[in-house]
Amino acid sequence: MNSKPFTSGPRENAVTITRVADRQWHALDDDLVVGRGYAARRADGRLFVSIDAWHDAPFDRLAEAMLAELPAPLHTVVDEADAELTARWLRAGFTVRRREWEYVVPTDPQDTGLGEALPPSGVTIVPAGQADEGLLRAVDRAIRDEVGATVGWQSMPAEVVTFPEGDTIVDPSKYAVAAAPDRYLGLIRVVTVRGPRIGLVAVRTGEQRRGIARALLAHALGTLHRSGFTEARAEVQESHHAASALFEGIGARPTSSNLELVR
């Protein structure tokens, strides 16, 4: 456990930064915890940091200590509406890497217009929990390879990054798939922790623009609607115009945005 004193000014008490555990720091003012800092390496290898402090001085001292001890590059995510927190990270030398919009998506087919959105000929939708696990993992791997060869998987939301062992399907029961007779062409994942959230909808490159993504959304949202949910949430990167158009075309509305910052 390491401590470093940082004097915030001649009229203020000294703020001491203490590393209390691996990748965890506390800011102390006369033995009172006035801020906490954390670092965590996500599954794709990126190191994300966060600081919880009420005032600028503890935040700045925590940032200074953490940045001195952690390897670059470092990432963090903030609610864009939190201008004060964003300014603190910018002051610490971070810059905006990307913006991600959060959408609220209606589930009622009367609102989405997806009531008649059927898959193309020869394609069927396999409900969540009924997919063949081997074929599911194969299409997930193929889609990830296609994304990695173009925009890069690090451009995807944190929820869908590759896991260290290469096992990217955490819970097969959460996925519905679009199936051809010999393979799967696309997938959608919906989780219902703290309300339903569409974590991923993706279609193989050669099968896009056939209505498969709309059919997957129609199935997933219809299932949620029949289960009593009136809306779901989804995140879309600002530069992913096709995904934005897809969601906005079914009545989804952006409600907030997050910024990923990097130093």
What average pLDDT does the segment 100-129 reach? 95
The reply to whether 227 falls in a domain is: yes
Give the pLDDT confidence of 164-217 residue by residue, as tens digits: 445 577 789 999 999 999 999 999 999 988 899 998 899 999 999 999 999 999
The reply to whether 196 falls in a domain is: yes
What average pLDDT does the segment 120-148 reach? 93
- Per the prediction, the chain carries an average pLDDT of 87
Spell out a b/e string for 197-236, using b for 16 or more CB atoms within 10 Å of the CB, else e. Answer: bbbbbbbbeebeebbbbbbbbbbbbbbbbeeebebbbbbb
Last residue of a domain, one of 98, 114, 133: 98
Give the lowest-confidence range in 87-91, 160-164, 173-177: 160-164
* Residue 137, burial from CB neighbour count under 10 angstroms (0-12, 13-18, 19+): middle
Domain containing 169 equals 101-258
Instruction: Report residue 94's pLDDT band, with 50, 70 and 90 as the boundaries.
Output: very high
Considering the domain architecture, whether residues 43 and 65 belong to the same structural domain is answered as: yes
- Res 3 pLDDT > 70: no
The reply to whether 263 falls in a domain is: no
